[in-house]
A and B are shown apart, each in its own frame.
Chain A
């Protein structure tokens, strides 16, 4: 019997170790291709170069038409789209969370919560399609009325739709944080004569700040890694621009376009996708760890 127990326990431990093996495999496989890439292309060119046109390098022996691998436009595009997305998701998500946890009656909650949950459950490819079919033409005609020319694939379209997509995520995280602030704090403030909104702005939010910051960081990490919306709505051209009305490209889009339909792993072109993936992995990893650390270190304990 005791032996049997031991086997089961060992089996469970084995499964647990497998989850670490997966992380190890991710890092190993992606980084080994990345190092192969950096043996061909210098890291300084990749991280500081401003020209991104990897498509020209088809095979390793085509030295004459080696592409250029300056990833700055790609990272800048990622940054721009994520920034727009967070400009939408942060206020929407925060205000929605505050309203739901402080003001909303139980009946309002009963139908508002499911709606936001549906919004979170819609697959990203659907958002992408919606961005292309509805939001992009809408923004175009709105831009024409204002005398702006908006590209049919623009950072603005992708960012707006991605923002809506991240909103429920930011909302549910910050709602948890807000409701974790002890009621006695806000009761104290209300008893002093502060209005509900003053209580929220000056008592609840400062107390919940670390949690909210980490929720926003997790939202950013979501946005940076989001693929389908940007593939469909943001475009492929690597423009070095901060103009949200132009078409930009992101790291995820480039990984997709470089690797889909490609079988060979020998060219700089495909290897550069792994370098982008590696950078993406570390960006999100750092964001997640920072979010975790902020919560751990700065959370005020009230009990």
Chain B
């Protein structure tokens, strides 16, 4: 700085001696005339633009991330269905041969398909899940037996991809649909037997090997169970620790040690917590593998330091005068904390806790370590059931080579991001609505 100043002073003095001061230029001219000044102004502009570019670049990345995921995922929220005439024959229903019923109506639609392999391809148009749908309908409405109805049934994954590609003109053609199949679909579409409907199955099914059946209900339920365990464990522990450190702890080496320890714990990689869960919870305590109980306990350790730090900040923000006033009226130290300080700090604490829940919600790596990568079809009901979480489901589907899972993965990410947005909005709402500015 001093060097810069000296240099510029020297230059200025020299110029003034030559009666050509660069600093005395017409005040209304924006462009500095002197070479050095021009250079400095240009440098300033460059620096400023680089800063702006950094922010724009980061924003562009976010936009392209969201754009890409929405573009490849939105089609998963629709389901391609085909309308076929179904005769609920009593004999077949008694034998539970719903597959045969569907096959019959398909041959009815395309009577000139006789070749065996072609027939198999024809039957393959309809989802393998379709017989179960018919079965459910008959169970719900037994009067259907013997009648004939037009029924909308989901098509198989490959056909669905093909149809959506034709419809949305999206992506590269990767589906393996033969010309005959394509011709069938065109024929069906021309006779208004194809439609897109909302894919409710995506929200009501568990995982499946078949892309058209796979849904996120099981993993979302798993996420919720895991978060419940996590909060039940981390919230009281974290808040209690913070209260002790902030309000009661004497200033000594032990307190310093705990503080350093918690700050370090906050920066330990999440996968290490997975190792801890594996070695301690599973191998030492013998808790059930892949359960939301263990998952929640691992995530609780992960967010514990975050909650402690947030709670301490919230407690610090409460002015001393509140504590003094309460104490002056005869409140004991614990009464001061629990009846006054804590109440005022609560909005801040809740904001911190909710934000840390968002972090736990998106965590994947430690859960993989404790075996929550299980293939979970059924919705977990209790904390010891094998479960998986939404981000883990995203990871599992992204590893699935089948083409139908690409849109499913992106759609699951959309749901995950929507959850994250909701949680964050809740935190913002609480902060705006309840937090007290002192």
A-side interface residues toward B, CB under 8 Å? 1, 4-5, 8-9, 11-13, 15-16, 18-20, 22-23, 25-26, 29-30, 33, 91-96, 98-100, 102-103, 112, 115-116, 118-119, 121-130, 132-134, 164, 167-168, 189, 192-198, 200-203, 218, 221-222, 224-228, 231-232, 252, 255-256, 259-261, 263, 265, 273-274, 277, 280-281, 284-285, 288-289, 292
Could you tell me the distance in whole angstroms from the C-beta of B33 to the nearest C-beta in chain A?
16
User: Majority SS of interface residues in chain A?
Assistant: helix
A162 to B59, CA, bound (A): 15
| CB under 8 Å from chain A, chain B span 258-274 | 258, 260-265, 267-273
Please indicate which of the listed interface residues A18, A19, A121 has the most CB atoms of chain B within 10 Å of its own CB: A19
A11 to B248, CA, bound (A): 12
Q: Which residues of A contact B319 (CB under 8 A)?
A: none
Q: Is the CB of A134 within 8 A of B368?
A: no
Q: Assuming A252-B271, A292-B263, is B58 touching A119 (CB within 8 A)?
A: yes
A121 to B304, CA, bound (A): 18
B130 part of interface (Cβ distance < 8 Å): no
Could you tell me the distance in whole angstroms from the C-beta of A101 to the nearest C-beta in chain B?
10
Of the residues A18, A132, A200, A256, contact of B47 by C-beta under 8 Å: A200
Could you tell me the distance in whole angstroms from the C-beta of B293 to the nearest C-beta in chain A?
17
Q: Is the CB of A288 within 8 A of B267?
A: yes
| CB under 8 Å from chain A, chain B span 179-218 | none
Could you tell me the distance in whole angstroms from the C-beta of A205 to the nearest C-beta in chain B?
12
Q: Is the CB of A23 within 8 A of B261?
A: yes
Binary interface profile of B, 409-428, with partner A (CB < 8 Å = 1, else 0)? 11001001100100010000
Please indicate which of the listed interface residues B248, B365, B406 has the most CB atoms of chain A within 10 Å of its own CB: B365
Q: Is the CB of A122 within 8 A of B65?
A: yes
A255 to B366, CA, bound (A): 11
Whose C-beta in chain B lies nearest to the C-beta of A8?
A: B334
Q: Is the CB of A202 within 8 A of B417?
A: no
Q: Is the CB of A168 within 8 A of B58?
A: yes
A224 to B436, CA, bound (A): 39
Could you tell me the distance in whole angstroms from the C-beta of B422 to the nearest C-beta in chain A?
12
Of the residues B8, B40, B305, B365, contact of A19 by C-beta under 8 Å: B305
Q: Which residues of B contact A116 (CB under 8 A)?
A: 55, 58
Q: Is the CB of B51 within 8 A of A96?
A: yes
Q: Is the CB of A284 within 8 A of B334?
A: no
A263 to B243, CA, bound (A): 40
B241 part of interface (Cβ distance < 8 Å): yes
B385 part of interface (Cβ distance < 8 Å): no
Q: Is the CB of A121 within 8 A of B424?
A: yes
Binary interface profile of B, 273-307, with partner A (CB < 8 Å = 1, else 0)? 10110111001100001000000000001001100
Q: Is the CB of A227 within 8 A of B244?
A: no
Of the residues B53, B262, B365, B413, contact of A126 by C-beta under 8 Å: B413
Q: Which residues of A contact B413 (CB under 8 A)?
A: 126, 129
B5 part of interface (Cβ distance < 8 Å): yes
Q: Is the CB of A202 within 8 A of B1?
A: yes
Of the residues A12, A252, A256, contact of B243 by C-beta under 8 Å: A12
Q: Is the CB of A227 within 8 A of B365?
A: yes
| CB under 8 Å from chain A, chain B span 230-251 | 236-237, 240-241, 243-245, 248-249
Q: Assuming A95-B50, A96-B55, A284-B268, is B334 touching A5 (CB within 8 A)?
A: yes
A192 to B368, CA, bound (A): 58
Q: Is the CB of A289 within 8 A of B248?
A: no
A172 to B69, CA, bound (A): 26
B394 part of interface (Cβ distance < 8 Å): yes
Q: Which residues of A contact B332 (CB under 8 A)?
A: 1, 5
Looking at the complex, which of B99-107, B109-117, B153-161, B356-364 is the stretch in contact with chain A? B356-364
A266 to B383, CA, bound (A): 28
Q: Is the CB of B269 within 8 A of A123?
A: no
Q: Is the CB of A195 within 8 A of B416?
A: no
Whose C-beta in chain A lies nearest to the C-beta of B428?
A: A114
Of the residues B1, B243, B276, B371, contact of A26 by C-beta under 8 Å: B276
B-side interface residues toward A, CB under 8 Å? 1, 4-5, 8, 40-41, 43-44, 46-48, 50-55, 57-59, 61-62, 64-65, 68-69, 72, 236-237, 240-241, 243-245, 248-249, 257-258, 260-265, 267-273, 275-276, 278-280, 283-284, 289, 301, 304-305, 308, 332-334, 358, 361-365, 368-369, 371, 373, 391-392, 394-395, 398, 406, 409-410, 413, 416-417, 420, 424
Q: Is the CB of A16 within 8 A of B44?
A: no
Q: Is the CB of A274 within 8 A of B268?
A: no
- A sample of 17 cross-chain residue pairs with beta-carbon separation below 8 angstroms, ordered by A number, consists of A19-B262, A29-B280, A92-B58, A95-B51, A96-B55, A99-B52, A115-B55, A123-B420, A124-B362, A129-B413, A132-B398, A168-B58, A195-B41, A197-B48, A227-B269, A263-B289, A284-B268
Q: Assuming A96-B54, A130-B68, is B395 touching A16 (CB within 8 A)?
A: no
A228 to B371, CA, bound (A): 15
Of the residues B59, B64, B267, B283, contact of A134 by C-beta under 8 Å: B64
Q: Is the CB of A92 within 8 A of B395?
A: no
Q: In the A-B complex, list the 4 residue pairs whose CB atoms are closest, starting with the nearest.
A: A225-B269, A99-B51, A123-B362, A15-B240
Q: Is the CB of A22 within 8 A of B334?
A: no
Q: Which residues of B contact A30 (CB under 8 A)?
A: 272, 275-276, 279
Whose C-beta in chain A lies nearest to the C-beta of B277?
A: A29
Q: Which residues of A contact B373 (CB under 8 A)?
A: 260-261
Q: Is the CB of A125 within 8 A of B395?
A: yes
Q: Is the CB of A126 within 8 A of B416?
A: yes
Q: Which residues of B contact A197 (CB under 8 A)?
A: 43-44, 46-48
Q: Which residues of B contact A103 (CB under 8 A)?
A: 48, 51-52
A281 to B275, CA, bound (A): 11
Of the residues B4, B244, B280, contact of A16 by C-beta under 8 Å: B244
Q: Assuming A12-B244, A16-B241, A121-B424, is B55 touching A232 (CB within 8 A)?
A: no
Could you tell me the distance in whole angstroms from the C-beta of A118 to the nearest C-beta in chain B?
6
Q: Which residues of A contact B264 (CB under 8 A)?
A: 23, 285, 288-289
Whose C-beta in chain A lies nearest to the C-beta of B243?
A: A12
Q: Which residues of B contact A15 (CB under 8 A)?
A: 236-237, 240-241, 244
